[in-house]
Structure 1
């Protein structure tokens, strides 16, 4: 994907009031993190022109404050 297309993509997000932020976690890519109701997307624009999209979709469940301890216990090293 060319830079012009990348900028057009960001402009489309803005025009549609879709929240995003830019990040960089790989040496050869720019990450666009997108948040919409019930979903979060990671769209990576790679140096070679490829685009990878990963979607994280909510199961619709909500948890109370006790879930914090469960998450920390489960995902700590």
Structure 2
């Protein structure tokens, strides 16, 4: 089990690394007690969640390079809306 101070230090070091490399990020909270760092770089999107009691979860979403048109907007809303 990671200590809270270690988790916070790991989050801080990751954010400093992103800043030093001029990589834009956003912070969010999706799960209770966790801090999510959302990063968008060309061709990829990263979600990195830091927890107070364990190491981070890292998800990487890669683009296949296809660029679609406005006809996809209706489908996106229909597929993922309530």
Q: By the TM > 0.5 criterion, same fold?
A: yes
**Partner in structure 1 of residue 9 of structure 2:** 4
**Partner in structure 1 of residue 79 of structure 2:** 74
**Partner in structure 2 of residue 22 of structure 1:** 27
What's the CA shift for 1:66?
0.8
What's the CA shift for 1:28?
2.1
Higher fraction of strand: 1
Query: Any gaps of 5 or more consecutive residues in structure 1?
Result: none
Normalised by the length of structure 2, the TM-score is: 0.85
Q: Distance in 2 between matches of 1:5 and 1:54?
A: 17
**Partner in structure 2 of residue 57 of structure 1:** 62
The alignment partner of 1:44 has SS state of: strand
**Structure of greater relative contact order (alpha carbons < 8 Å, 6+ residues apart):** 2
Number of residue equivalences: 77
Question: What's the Cα RMSD here?
Answer: 1.2
Query: Any gaps of 5 or more consecutive residues in structure 2?
Result: none
